[in-house]
Amino acid sequence: MGRAKLPRKSTNIDMTAMCDVAFLLLSFFILTTKFKPAEAIAVTTPNSVAAKVAPQKDYVMVILDANGKVFLEMDDESKKEAIANALNSSRNLGLNTAAFKKSLFFGAPFGSLSSFLALPEDQRKGDKLPGIPVLDTANNELVTWMRVTKEVYMGEKEPAFLLKGDNAAKFPAFKAIIDAFKKNDILKFQMVTSPEAAPVGTDLWKMNQKGEKIEE
């Protein structure tokens, strides 16, 4: 006697609710996502196997772009205000202290620094700015910037001094920055590079695998 065949019934799943949830999630992520703004100073840093991450606060960073232009960036607004007052006092620049304090970076000679601060933030682009003069050994203005910065921090913990240079930057500008550091007894600074993984089999790779900390 043959087996009785059971009638096949098609499965029907209502996907309406799932589609609604998917579109709601998609709308949420689109509306809340913040895209990283384009950097005002385009710098392609060289790669390195870095064991130490550059600090994100309490730093003073010198930036060198591919064209040899030098810029200065710092994060402490109170110290920036003190630097503006010191420059006004020593060089009579007439800087707008409030604008100086809010500026994300500095990239102009002292003579045109007031005009630089008067520019809208969206017009302060590295490729359109002259940068801080450093190549004239008789007038390396970065020396003054570093001197005033050290004086402002005198008696307190010094910031982390960073140097972020483009991979295509030429040596004379780099040397001028180092000279400005040396003339102000800044003998310890950190290079900002693009980190990459340690080569497999090296001592650093083995230490990372074991989770060991690297002594500085």
pLDDT tens sequence across 95-118: 999 999 999 999 999 999 999 999
Instruction: Using CA atoms of 140, 67, 73, 83 in order, give the dihedral in degrees to the nearest 10.
Output: 30
Cα–Cα distances (Å) from 158 to 77, 126, 201, in that order, read 15, 27, 37
- Residue 66 DSSP symbol: T
Q: What is the pLDDT of residues 112-152, one digit of tens each?
A: 999 999 999 888 888 889 999 999 888 899 999 999 999 99
Does this model's pTM top 0.85?
no
Question: Domains of the chain: which residue ranges?
Answer: 56-195
- What is d(CA 49, CA 158) in angstroms, rounded to the nearest whole number? 26
- Residue 51 DSSP symbol: S
- Residue 139 DSSP symbol: G
- What is d(CA 22, CA 152) in angstroms, rounded to the nearest whole number? 54
- What is d(CA 210, CA 40) in angstroms, rounded to the nearest whole number? 39
